[in-house]
Structure 1
Amino acid sequence: MIPDVPNSDSEPGPFTENTDTTASSLIDLQSTSREVHLKIEGGRRLHGEVALKASKNAAVALLCASLLNHGITRFLNFPRIEEVTRMIEVLESIGVKTNWRDNNTLELHRPKKLNLQNLDEDAARKTRSVLMLIGSLMHDHEEFEIPYAGGCKLGERTVKPHQYALEEFGVNIIATDKQYTIKVDRKAPGEMTLYESGNTVTNNTILAAARTAEGTFIQAASCDYMVQDLCYFLQKLGVEIEGIGTPLLHIRGLSRIKKNVEYAPTEDPIEAMFFISAAVTTDSEIVIKRVPFRWISLELMKLKKMGLRYTLSSSYKAYNGHVDLADLTIHQHEGKLCALPDKLHPNIWPGLNPDSLPYFVPIAGVATGKTLIHDWIYERRAIYYGELSKLGIKVELLDQHRVYVQGPSELVKANLSCPPALRPASLLLVGMLAASGMSVLRNIYVINRGYEDLAARLNMLGASVEIFS
């Protein structure tokens, strides 16, 4: 049964745990606005072990979800990355109190009334995640505005799926000059089907259902990792959710939520793919700890069929008690990888993750044979893969969605600027790690959107990466 929620508007009491704020006094490079660049002395084999950080995509959804809670929300092991920083700036601008504590613990406390007129438009326009504010804010506000969403430049990314989903809850989204005007006449949809099984639109719909007391049945929901993390968090708040990890979700929400809660988002499977790609491209053996291996099981299967050897430890639970983790050892392939006979293409989970697909480009570049990579979801991302040709990888652009990669290639040093998209930018870093000589990668803000302390962690694996500005 759904527990009763107190109606009192009194301020919730503090947690009883240690509230040492030492961590908040540390220098935070993420908060600086200057351009940051990398020098990479490549051609080195990596070695040792690295532990994964929590997921970017789950983190931004959880930040939006914290607005549903009138109690104190505490996120453990939270990623300190640019995307999170931008969303925190947005939340602080409307009145949310935030505090970083030890061990990347983030505490949030929303006020009784949010001041949406003060919303930080500059921060909001740097992230597409701001769209998920609609699903949270619709419960307490009949009319409000948010700026157009930003994030990676990957072609046309319509908001129509969000509009079609949220109108089932009585939300009307009107596009005006540089912003969306949202008007709310709340209703319960009962049963609904999503126009598109996207991660962000699924999360927005879940947030709308989380404070809709009548049951909502959602068909064609994304089953991906960030959606599952959001559902597990909402369950801790008392929201009843059935069907997590399936395209059919049954949600019975709460009209009001006020609870002091702690939650730890799961480690990032896409960060695991970055380190896998770096290890394979440099022909290295490393151990990647705390891998949510079931979320990249197809990726690992594809790599196995290419000839990659890897081993998984016994599984254990993530800090949230739900997701199975294991330590993954990537072994040297010694140049024995072969291209797959069929194309590589993404799909919704349990298919090959759209954000995992780019990391196969440098891998295909060191494998023998020709690989067809079909990135059908985004109009422009495949075009950025051509930048790897400047590092010596033979990439042939067929159209805006498809490339051929011919291997094996001998990688060469280069001086490049990051493209305006996270995964393609990080591919250049992977290639530079494998290319002999000194390479320079300029303006890495887009990489810092998704990865925390990446240079330091690569250096712990034996790389030579220097930050400069």
Structure 2
Amino acid sequence: MMIPDIPSSDSEPGPFAHHTDPLTSNPLDLQSANREVHLRIEGGRRLYGDVTLKASKNAAVALLCASLLNYGVTKFLNFPRIEEVTRMIEVLESIGVKINWRDNNTLELCRPKKLRLENLDEDAARKTRSVLMLIGPLMHGHGEFDIPYAGGCKLGERTVKPHQYALEEFGVSITATDKRYTVKVDKKSPGEMTLYESGNTVTNNTILAAASMAEGTLIQAASCDYMVQDLCYFLQKFGVEIEGIGTPLLHIRGLSRIKQNIEYTPTEDPIEAMFFISAAVTTDSEITIKRVPFRWISLELTKLKRMGLRYTLSSSYKAANGHVDLADLTIHRHEGKLSALPDKLHPNIWPGLNPDSLPYFVPIAGVATGRTLIHDWIYERRAVYYAELSKLGIKVELLDQHRLHVQGPSELIKANMSCPPALRPASLLLIGMLAASGVSVLRNVYVINRGYEDLAARLNMLGASVEVFS
């Protein structure tokens, strides 16, 4: 059967025997996947002060999958405590990985000699598309296994065929039966290969497959994006040889077995930076965003500068991983002087405008003078969700499922709304409500908590008024 396109023991000795800090329940900002949590926002306030970025969601889930390659203890520092991470932790714990949260968002993991794949938590796995990235590491110790269909944001047809084609090069065959993937492995070295699509998760899956191959693998058409780079820097700490990081051509020489005690800190999230940039611009505020991986949003900042936005970057410094350049970014008030760009805004693979940055230009365009054409060509339905901003007073004209016009400036109004089933479009509603005078309600914010940690509390520290209730 063809793979469908759709919107898986004995412990190593380690420091876990005396751990007394179990995985605790989530704070009020977060929620279980089965309990609805809502936000009440008193909008119309200008933000002020500074906020420090958390680590990247997309990098974090790839790193969790990569930890399965290590038979030693993997310790992640400053790891994001978000719902997407919680779902992946539930999956890993269900197959036997020992996991503990420590102080300051430190996460420790130790895999057993033998994983219990038959116990995999299917409910948790179906709530995240990241479960697909388990195939790359699991193929090295298992001749056959199943994983459930991947979930995540509902953004139209998101093909898994690039994963199938890439992993076939390593001797992996994947068939779909009864809403699950059956994976069979007859491992081989691909030598040189070209990805069918330059996607982030398929690139990560391919890297994870190559990381345990002692023979060299040359991957062409790889994604160069930030989460791919973070995964490569992590694997290099084990001694995996990777050349070409940040380019579409990766040469990887892996290790047949990894057993090390290691620490790694994922880089701060450039998409979270875009959330706070958009919130500052839409509310016409001045805030400072600390620890911004500014080179990963360089084009986004250039577009904003051409719209008339003033911002200041501090001197650069290194991220904790020693590779990525960071800076503190101050967004200045525009006082209604932004102008729409004369050409369309559209996403592309890095160093193009990040697909997850593009949504944050919609409310920005709503407060700029003129008409902006936004072309979100990657996802079939995401532009439809942008049109929900019209309920907050932003003038949005949906042209088709990929394109829309935004006419500004708009006067934002309060509303009572439910989150759409997609992270970035849902967070846009929160931004609009921050700018709208009066009290708005945003219901069922689980999808936002998939990607952002303690968001209500952090916004309140910037002068917003956001109440969490259930």
The two structures share one fold, judged by TM-score above 0.5: yes
Aligned to 1:193: 194
Hey, which bits of structure 1, 4+ residues long, moved more than 4 A? 19-27
In 2: Cα distance, 1:21 partner to 1:50 partner: 31
Identify the residue that residue 339 of structure 2 maps to in structure 1. 338
For residue 11 of structure 1, report the CA deviation from its aligned partner. 3.1
Matched, 1:417 2:418: yes
1:174 aligned partner: 175
The runs of 5 or more residues in structure 2 that have no matched partner are 1-9
In structure 1, the residue matched to 2:364 is 363
User: Which amino acid letter does the alignment assign opposite residue 72 of structure 2?
Assistant: G
Deviation at 1:28, TM superposition (A): 3.7
Give me the whole-angstrom Cα distance separating, in 1, the residues matched to 2:307 and 2:22.
Answer: 43
One-letter code aligned to 1:284: S
Match of 1:299 in 2: 300
Name the SS of the counterpart of 1:169 in structure 2.
Answer: coil
Q: Indicate conservation of the 8 Å contact 1:274/1:359, yes or no.
A: yes
Tell me how far apart the structure 1 counterparts of residues 398 and 79 of structure 2 sit (CA, whole Å).
38
Cα shift readout 1:44-103 (whole Å, capped 9, x = no counterpart): 000000000000000000000000000000000000000000000000000000000010
Amino acid at match of 1:453: D
Which whole-Å CA distance do the structure 2 matches of 1:341 and 1:95 have between them? 54
Residue aligning to 1:54: 55
CA distance in 1, matches of 2:342, 2:20: 54
Partner of 1:137: 138
Deviation at 1:25, TM superposition (A): 5.1
Letter in 1 for 2:378: I
Mapped to 1, the partners of 2:412 and 2:22 lie a distance apart of 40
What is aligned with 1:221? 222
Note if contact 1:20-1:102 (Cα within 8 Å) is conserved in structure 2.
Answer: no
CA distance in 2, matches of 1:393, 1:23: 45
* Alignment partners' CA distance in 1, 2:47 and 2:241: 45
The number of residue pairs the alignment matches comes to 458
Identify the residue that residue 3 of structure 1 maps to in structure 2: none
Cα distance in 1 for residues equivalent to 2:424 and 2:410: 21
Any conservation in 1 of the 2:55–2:267 contact (CA below 8 Å)?
yes
- Secondary structure class of the residue paired with 2:152: coil
- Is 2:316 aligned against 1:315? yes
Aligned partners of 1:304 and 1:425: how far apart in 2? 26
Q: Measure how far apart 1:34 and its partner are.
A: 1.3
Structure 1: where are the runs of 5+ without partners? 1-8
Counterpart AA for 2:338: L
Matched residue SS, 2:330 = strand
Root mean square deviation, CA, Å:
1.4
Residue in 2 aligned with 1:237?
238
Q: What is the rounded CA distance, in whole Å, between the counterparts of 1:448 and 1:26 in structure 2?
A: 14
> For 1:64 and 1:11, how far apart are their aligned partners in 2?
18
1:229-281 per-position Cα deviation (integer Å, ceiling 9, x unaligned):
00000001111100000000000001111010100000000000000000000
Task: Output the CA distance in 2 between the equivalents of 1:23 and 1:171.
Answer: 36
Partner deviation per Cα, 1:96-117 (whole Å, 9 max, x = no partner): 0000001000000000000000
Q: CA separation of 1:209/1:347 partners in 2, compared to 1, >3 Å: closer, same or farther?
A: same
- Are the structure 2 counterparts of residues 195 and 108 from structure 1 closer, same or farther at C-alpha, using a change threshold of 3 Å? same
Match for residue 251 of structure 1? 252
Residue equivalent to 1:153: 154
- Cα distance between partner residues in 2 of 1:10 and 1:94: 12
Whether 2:292 is the aligned partner of 1:284: answer: no
| Corresponding residue number in structure 2 for 1:77 | 78
**CA drift at 1:200:** 0.3
Give per-residue Cα distances to partners, 1:403-450, cap 9 Å, x unaligned. Answer: 000000000000000000000000000000000000000000000000
**Is the contact between residue 144 and residue 182 of structure 1 (CA under 8 Å) also seen in structure 2?**
yes
Give the deviation of 1:20 after TM superposition: 7.9
Q: Structure 1's 22 and 112: CA in aligned 2 closer, same or farther, altered over 3 A?
A: closer
CA distance in 1: counterparts of 2:432 and 2:227, whole angstroms: 28
The DSSP-based 3-state class of the residue aligned with 2:302 is helix
Equivalent position of 2:393 in the other structure: 392
**Residues 334-378 of structure 1, C-alpha deviation per residue, up to 9 Å, x if partnerless?**
000000000000000000000000000000000000000000000
CA distance in 2, matches of 1:419, 1:441: 10
Q: Please report the TM-score for the alignment, with normalisation by the length of structure 1.
A: 0.96
Partner SS state of residue 61, structure 1: helix
Q: Structure 2 matches for 1:372-451, cutoff 5 A?
A: 372-451=373-452
Q: Are the counterparts in 1 of residues 366 and 407 from structure 2 also a CA contact under 8 Å? A: yes
Q: Judge conservation of contact 1:23–1:102 (CA < 8 Å) in 2.
A: no
CA separation in 2, counterparts of 1:71 and 1:292?
30
Q: In structure 2, the residue corresponding to 1:427 is in which secondary structure?
A: helix
Contact 2:31-2:37 at 8 Å conserved across structures = no
